Structure 1
Amino acid sequence: MKLSTKGRYGVKAMFELALAHGNGPTSLNIIAEKQNLSIHYLEQLFSSLRKAELVRSIRGAQGGYILARNPEEITVGEIIRTLEGPLAPSDCVIENEDKGHDCNRAGCCVTRTVWKKIWDSINDVVDNITLQDMIDDHDKMTSEEGYMYYI
């Protein structure tokens, strides 16, 4: 399973906001420069992140974006799902209240069981990594002498 640029760039951008948490708003220009990302693409991503209430926009000359919650309260899973949708390896494991499963064999399909285990594992990992965890990892990596860390 491979994430699109939406999910990957969104996590990078949110990491930059987490690093700046408590220091006021960060402009998209700064995030784009630090992460070598397109500002136009970031604008699209931040529209979704703002609607999901993961970030807040601050208007004005010194404006930009801030995290809507503390870094320890925002998970990588929330960010990726906001930008990518469900992280299911197959549509058959996504339970839809309106339609149920599209496959008429869902109740007796062995491969669906495999996809469900993969999906549960992926969700468990991304839902247990917070932006604060990323900051902590970053601090450990950058404190090693001579090591430069990029995400």
Structure 2
Amino acid sequence: MKLSAQEEYGLRCLLFMARHGETKSHSIPEISRAEGLSVPNVAKLMRILRLGGLVASVRGQAGGYTLSRPADQVTVSEILSLLGGSFFNPHFCDRHSGLERNCAHTGDCAVRLLWGAVQKSLDAILTKTTLRDLLRSEEDMLLFLKDHGAATVAEAQTVTVHSITN
């Protein structure tokens, strides 16, 4: 599974807004500078986030964008769904059938079952995780993930991150 650049950058923009004042208006150039993203890319992301109801635009001299709801009411699942969709869509097999109209394995497919289970696991944690939760330190986030049944994965990821940074 890969996060798309749009999902990653959109999440970063929202985290910037949550971290630097949920009700404060943030301009596109301000977000762009802080996150190291191009102005056109941030503008595109803000449009998607506005149309999806996650941010609101403010006009005028002090204009920009604000979060539409408090950070503890915006789930990571909602953000990723808006910016890129789910990991495994139930109609995946319809779009990846090969040369035939229907996949050769439609009747009995362990792969489809696996991807469905992975999606359910992702949904279970992402629907419980809010934008505010992502403002935690890595240590606090590990405790949060342990409390929500994702400890093994979180611990493995922490080891990977620390080995990369050291």
User: TM bucket by the smaller chain?
Assistant: 0.7 to 0.9
The worse-fitting range, judged by mean Cα deviation, of 54-63 and 79-88 is 79-88
Q: State the 1:16 CA deviation.
A: 0.7
Relative distance call for 1:19 and 1:93 in structure 2 (3 A) is farther
**Alignment partner of 1:80 is 2:93:** no
Residues of 1 paired with 2:73 and 2:81: CA distance?
15
| Cα contact 2:32–2:38 (8 A) shared by 1 | yes
Q: State the 1:110 CA deviation.
A: 1.6
Aligned-residue identity in percent? 31
**Which deviations, in whole Å up to 9, do the C-alpha atoms of 1:85-141 show, x marking residues without a partner?**
2222882399xxxxxxx6474452121111111111122222221111012337x69
One-letter amino acid of the structure 1 residue matched with residue 38 of structure 2: S
| Higher RCO (Cα < 8 Å, 6 or more apart) | 1
One-letter amino acid of the structure 2 residue matched with residue 77 of structure 1: S
Give the aligned CA root-mean-square deviation in angstroms.
2.6
| Cα contact 1:21–1:71 (8 A) shared by 2 | no
Relative distance call for 1:15 and 1:22 in structure 2 (3 A) is closer
What SS does structure 1 have at the residue aligned with 2:13? helix
Structure 2 unmatched ranges of 5 or more:
96-101, 142-166
Structure 1 unmatched ranges of 5 or more:
95-101, 142-151
Relative distance call for 1:118 and 1:57 in structure 2 (3 A) is same
Aligned length: 134
1:35-114 to structure 2, matched below 5 A, reads 35-88=35-88, 91-92=92-93, 103=103, 105-114=105-114
Q: TM-score, normalised by structure 2?
A: 0.71
What SS does structure 2 have at the residue aligned with 1:65? strand
2:154 corresponds in structure 1 to: none
Q: TM-score, normalised by structure 1?
A: 0.77
